[in-house]
Each structure stands twice: as C-alpha cells, then as structure tokens.
C-alpha cells in the first residue's frame, strides 16, 4: 500500500507592490469601518432620544385617557 507524500506548505512572498496595495486596502477598510461605527453611534443617540420621547408621549396620552374615563364615569 502506497502513501501519498505530503508537500511542505510554504508561504510564498508576494511582489512588494502587490503587498503594499494589500496593506493600503486593509488600512482603508479600517478607516471606513471606523467612519461607519461613528455614524452608527450618532444615529443610535438620535434614535434613543426619539424612542424615549415616544414612550413619554404614550404614557402621557394613556394617563389623559384614563383621567377622561374617570371623569366621565363620575358624571
């Protein structure tokens, strides 16, 4: 029975120009990622503020409806 010989896997070096482009692309991706994370953070701040405003308004409306119902029932 014969065994398949394993080949030694060695990383071959890329051309320096290709490697430089790859590194530049990675840096650009990191910069884009940071920019998008900052934009998301700003949006989340606005959304949280809007969400809490809606909650307060709903509570206020519920309280007013309850007060109206109580006043109507007493009459």
For the chain, the domains span 14-75
Per-residue pLDDT, 54: 98
Per-residue pLDDT, 12: 75
Per-residue pLDDT, 4: 77
The backbone torsions φ and ψ at residue 73, rounded to the nearest 5 degrees and listed phi first, read: -70, -30
| Whole-angstrom distance, CA of residue 13 vs CA of residue 22 | 13
Whether residue 22 contacts residue 14, with contact meaning beta carbons closer than 8 Å, is answered with yes
User: What is the full per-residue pLDDT of the chain (75 aa) written as tens digits?
Assistant: 677 777 777 777 778 888 999 999 999 999 999 999 999 999 999 999 999 999 999 999 999 999 999 999 987
Reading the block at residue 43, the tokens are 């949006």
In degrees to the nearest 10, what's the CA dihedral of 57, 58, 64, 69?
Answer: 170
């Amino acid at each position: 029975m014969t065994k398949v010989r394993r080949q030694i896997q060695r990383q071959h070096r890329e051309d320096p120009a290709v490697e430089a482009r790859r590194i530049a692309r990675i840096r650009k991706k990191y910069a884009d990622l940071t920019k998008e994370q900052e934009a998301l953070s700003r949006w989340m701040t606005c959304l949280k503020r809007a969400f809490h405003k809606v909650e307060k308004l709903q509570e206020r409306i519920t309280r007013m409806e309850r007060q109206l119902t109580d006043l109507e029932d007493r009459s």
